[in-house]
Amino acid sequence: MKRDLKSGLWTLSVLVLCLFSYSFQAFSKTIVIADIDDTLKKANSVGKIQEQAYHFLKKIPYFEMRDLLVEIKGNEKAKSEAIGFYYVSAAQTITFNAQEWLQKYNFPIGRSTLKTLKNKESTYDFKHAVIKNILQEEIKTLDTRTGEKLHILMFGDNAQADAMVYSDLTREMGLDSQIYIRDVKTEATYFDTSIAVKKIPGVKYYFSEVELFQNAEFDYLSAGLKSRTYDSYKKRELIPAYTYKTLTRRLEALYNDKSRAKDDAGKFWNDYYSRF
């Protein structure tokens, strides 16, 4: 009888200790901040006006990026962690209904913010202010009693100011963030020793999703998503054709030789599609 009583008290003590420890477990909340044009939507922001207009009218998403965000959300939910999505673009509200587009293509539900005609700020100033406000709001909601922490995933491209905004805010606010930038300007991807690479320290650049999805932090991605992405890569469908034109024009400006630029662009393109 005494042995049973001691055993019962020991079990109860362990249970109370577990409940006590659980109540003070440090949870985290993940915030995803994403640009839209050239990050989630094909836009050709560094192309010529008529080329931009074509993609503006088509409004085709990067489906692999959509599926990545969906799986990020699913992974956090599976761990019973909170997650929120924010879409911030310097595009004018009058030209693009971001919320409608995001819902149409089944991106994770989240708040979208675009510029208005009255807003005359630069892209950098606009995005810096909007995202800083979002982060300050989120930080205020953290449960300090449990040591809840904020983890930020930032997705953008190098057509404009995303990399600088994200890296500056990370430094200024002491954020726990990971920054992923699509190399639409073709200047952050290694092609040849003679071609300079431009990168901001602490930023992870990717030329296509096949690179992005190989990051260790995305080891939970489904086999289906990885397989679809690699299939698109093998078919040379993962990177928009306009990026090839951007690369060619960049080389023309460097070489001042159209023939050499065209030849090297083809060579670099073929090399990239043989890497993975």
Q: What is the pLDDT of residues 120-151, one digit of tens each?
A: 899 999 999 999 999 999 999 998 888 889 99
DSSP string, 55-87: HHHH--B-HHHHHHHHHHHHHHHHTT-EEEEEE
Determine the Cα–Cα distance for residues 111 and 134; give it in Å rounded to an integer: 10
pLDDT at position 33 = 98
- State how far Cα 276 lies from the chain centre: 21
Amino acid identity of 201? P
pLDDT at position 189 = 97
pLDDT at position 191 = 96
How do the pLDDT tens digits run along the chain, 276 residues long?
545 544 544 454 444 444 444 444 556 899 999 999 999 999 877 767 765 665 665 689 999 999 999 999 999 999 989 999 999 999 888 888 999 999 999 999 999 999 988 888 999 999 999 999 999 999 999 988 888 899 999 999 999 899 999 999 999 999 999 999 999 999 999 999 989 999 999 999 999 999 999 999 999 999 999 999 999 999 999 999 999 999 999 999 999 999 999 999 999 999 999 999
- State how far Cα 203 lies from the chain centre: 11
Residue 218 forms beta bridges with which residues? none
**The two three-digit tokens of residue 35, written as one number:** 């640009």
Query: Which domains, and CATH codes, for the chain?
Result: 25-238 (3.40.50.1000)
For tokens 């293509």, what's the residue?
Answer: 105
Q: Is 16 helix (H, G, I), strand (E, B) or coil?
A: helix
* 146-182 residues labelled b (16+ CB within 10 A) or e (exposed): eebebbbbbbbbbbbbbbbbbbbbbeebebebbbbbb
pLDDT at position 143 = 87
Residue 88 forms beta bridges with which residues? 113
Give pLDDT tens digits for 221-240: 999 999 999 999 999 999 99
DSSP state of 104: H
pLDDT at position 21 = 40
How many Å from the N-terminal Cα to the C-terminal Cα in the chain?
67
Distances (CA, A) of 47 to 43, 84, 132: 9, 32, 29
pLDDT at position 22 = 41
Amino acid identity of 139? I
Amino acid identity of 273? Y
pLDDT at position 24 = 42
